[in-house]
Amino acid sequence: MGSSVTGPASGEFVRAAPPPGGTVVSAVGYRRQGSGTALHRGLPSPYLTLIFSLDGPVVTGRTPGEATGPDAARTDIVVGGLHQSPAYVVQPEHESGIQLAVHPLAARALLGLPAAELAGPMVVEGADVLGRIAADVRERLCELDSWEGRFALLNAYLARRTAAAGRTGAVRPEITEAWSWLARHRGAGTLRGLSAHVALSERRLSALFRAETGVTPKQAARLMRFQHAKTAAVRAVAAGARPDLAGIAADCGYYDHSHLVRDFRQYTDASPTAWLAEECRNIQAGAHGGGEDLDP
């Protein structure tokens, strides 16, 4: 669920420099006022999602029907893992909060568990993962009236959690290097090349990687390629240009344009053209920003 929770009517999006250490890749404060309830697609990305809502609970589902029905997840603090399909988010008339993109290999240090444990449900109640103190932090965030103060409070809380984790937050060096290698290759490297680089068999590497992150190296690579392609398309729209999807596919390591379309359909439930048209106002309002750096 990598997209910011935003809406087309009017919105404020405040981007803060992520805290040092590489655990948080991006941080966005958002405030939206719409003309009514809407439905937003939260897209898969190579990052975990952590949202502190400053209004009511964030309401999500795997499908539009689930998100708007009785089985929807309703959480004040959202924790989301690495997924292969979009989450549907109900946008009320008013909403605000802070959304963080968290590096998946920081999950042990920051959340107290490997990212793989978040791979089942679309979202998890953050207080169940982070404990009661997270709910207290959320209440304090709601009481503050400046984004600067909110980000400072949240960064201090996350720094304390990371420091407390110490060595228990460590990840096997082979997996850390495997993720870095995939990021350096922008998701375009081969599993054979990756396994040779970290001196593990393809089977062993895939098993260890999935046990840590919840996805295989191939799935992580696809998420990275898609993130780069989506960012390139968003930047073109933000600049007032029509995205050259064939050129983007070639630049981002896709075999051809049809493979880019395939990934868009899987990760957004829409074609690239349809998704960009749907998100055009959000893009021009700055909701998508310029994308995040994939290399830790």
Burial degree of 151 (CB within 10 A; 0-12, 13-18, 19+):
buried
pLDDT for position 10: 67
On the CB side of 250, how many CA atoms lie within 13 Å of its CA? Answer: 4
The 10 Å Cβ neighbour count of residue 249 is 22
pTM over the 0.75 mark: yes
pLDDT for position 281: 67
172-296: CATH topology is Arc Repressor Mutant, subunit A (1.10.10)
pLDDT for position 166: 78
Which two three-digit tokens encode residue 33? 């006022």
Distances (CA, A) of 172 to 59, 140, 176, 209, 211: 35, 36, 6, 9, 11
- Alpha carbon of residue 106 to chain centroid: 13
Q: Domain residue spans in the chain?
A: 10-168, 172-296
3-class DSSP state of 241: coil
Distances (CA, A) of 88 to 63, 102, 216: 6, 20, 24
Mean pLDDT in order along the chain per 10 residues (296 residues): 44 86 92 81 95 96 95 96 95 93 96 94 93 96 96 95 84 97 94 97 98 98 96 90 94 93 95 88 61 41
Would you state the CATH architecture of domain 10-168?
Answer: Sandwich (2.60)
